């Protein structure tokens, strides 16, 4: 199997007095087609981990490989290009542009790839249909429910058919029932072949996903006892868990 994402001994230290050690030696591999929950309480370092996996932040030490490409030496332009082609983001607060219709919001996901406007819209429509919003193409986010907004955001994340989808607390702003719908949608996308990492502080949500990674004090430890059979096939390396 191809590793979509590999973290090698990643440290992230925020300067200050005293310096904040957000990540201390994380090793992690995500294979193509996996659906991974990164779970941990707030302050555990899971947001930092997400930012580093999304190349929005750079490790202080260690390497991040996306499909074998070492990102540590990439220029801003190449790194941005890598994000535009290989990564899709879903945020807790949706981050939709309110003056744009659902279709245009989703099309924004292709904006920085140099795709033509016509093609962007065609692909955006297909993505919206995939998330069940084919009848809301020209609705603005303000006229949509929370769940619908998150579906638009998910459509935007998948429109470019990225290698990896990173979802940061995708159900954090939603009620339980709506959240379940979103998780079901993500599961569906995973079943269709998408590789997805979900960051959450919610153990119930994490438990629903085939593989869980628990972050504590800036390091990873696998959750014993809850692994499915599939999980054992994957190499999940612990890094400095007891530091």
Partner 1 sequence: MSDRSKLRGRDVVSTSVVGLRSRRGRTLLTALGIAIGIASMVAVVGISSSSKAALLAQLDTLGTNLLQVEAASGGLSIEPLPIDAEPMIRRIDTVEAASAVIDTEIEVRRNAHDDTVVGIGTLGATPEFFETLKATVVVGRPLDDGLQSLPVAVLGDVAAIRLGISDLAGGPTISLGGQDFVVVGILDELPLNPDLSRKVIIGDEAAVALFGIAPNPTSIYVRITPEEMTDTRPLLAPTANPARPAKVEVSRPSDLLEARAEVDQNLQNLLLALGGVALLVGGVGIANVMVISVLERRGEIGLRRALGATRGHIRSQFVLEAALLSGLGGVLGILLGSAITIIYARRQSWVVDLPPEALLSGIGAAVVIGMLAGFYPAAKAARLDPALAVSGGTG
Output the smallest distance, CB 83 to partner 1, in A.
5
Which of residues 54 and 239 has its CB atom nearest to partner 1 in the complex? 54
* Nearest CA among 242, 199, 235, 240 for reference residue 30: 235
> Considering all CA atoms of the chain, what is the largest pairwise distance in Å, rounded to the nearest integer?
53
Whole-angstrom Cα distance, residue 243 to residue 229? 29
**What's the order of all strands across the beta sheet hosting 164-168?**
87-90, 164-168, 196-200, 35-39, 211-216, 219-222
150 binds partner 1 (CB under 8 A): no
Smaller CB distance to partner 1: residue 74 or 126? 74
* Residue 112 interacting with partner 1 (CB under 8 A): yes
Considering only residues 1, 2, 70, 99, which one is a binding residue for partner 1 as defined by CB under 8 A? 99
Q: How far is the CB of 105 from partner 1 (least distance, A)?
A: 10
Nearer to partner 1, 39 or 211 (CB): 39
Q: Is 217 left (phi over 0), alpha (psi -120 to 50) or beta?
A: left
Identify which of residues 30 and 96 has a Cβ nearer to partner 1 in the complex: 96
Q: What's the rounded Cα separation, in Å, for the pair 136 and 122?
A: 14
- Decide: 37 and 206 in contact? Cβ < 8 Å: yes
The nearest distance, CB 16 to partner 1, in angstroms, is 12
Q: Is 2 a residue that touches partner 1 (CB under 8 A)?
A: no
182's tokens = 């979103």
Q: Which is nearer to partner 1, 137 or 210 (CB)?
A: 137
Site for partner 1, rule CB under 8 A = 47-48, 51, 54, 56-57, 69, 74, 76-78, 80-87, 89, 91, 93, 95, 97-100, 108-109, 111-114, 116-117, 156, 168
């Amino acid at each position: 199997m191809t590793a979509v994402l590999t973290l090698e001994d990643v440290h992230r230290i925020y300067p200050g007095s005293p310096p904040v050690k957000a990540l201390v030696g994380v090793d992690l591999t995500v294979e193509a087609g996996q659906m991974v929950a990164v779970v941990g309480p707030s302050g555990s370092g899971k947001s930092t981990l997400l930012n580093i996996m999304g190349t929005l932040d750079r490790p202080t030490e260690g390497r991040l490989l996306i499909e074998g490409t070492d990102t540590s030496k990439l220029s801003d332009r190449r790194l941005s290009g890598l994000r535009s082609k290989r990564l899709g983001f879903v945020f807790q607060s949706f981050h939709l542009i309110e003056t744009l219709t659902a279709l245009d919001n989703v099309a924004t996901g292709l904006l920085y790839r140099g795709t033509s406007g016509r093609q962007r819209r065609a692909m955006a429509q297909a993505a919206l249909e995939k998330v069940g919003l084919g009848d809301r193409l020209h609705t603005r986010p303000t006229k949509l429910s929370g769940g619908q907004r998150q579906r638009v955001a998910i459509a935007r994340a998948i429109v470019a058919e990225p290698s990896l989808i990173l979802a940061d607390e995708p159900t954090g702003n939603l009620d339980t029932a709506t959240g379940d719908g979103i998780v079901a949608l993500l599961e569906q996308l995973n079943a269709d072949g998408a590789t997805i990492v979900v960051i959450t502080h919610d153990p119930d949500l994490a438990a629903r996903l085939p593989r869980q990674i628990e972050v504590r004090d800036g390091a990873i430890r696998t959750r014993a006892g809850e692994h499915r059979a599939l999980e054992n096939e994957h190499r999940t390396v612990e890094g400095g868990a007891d530091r």
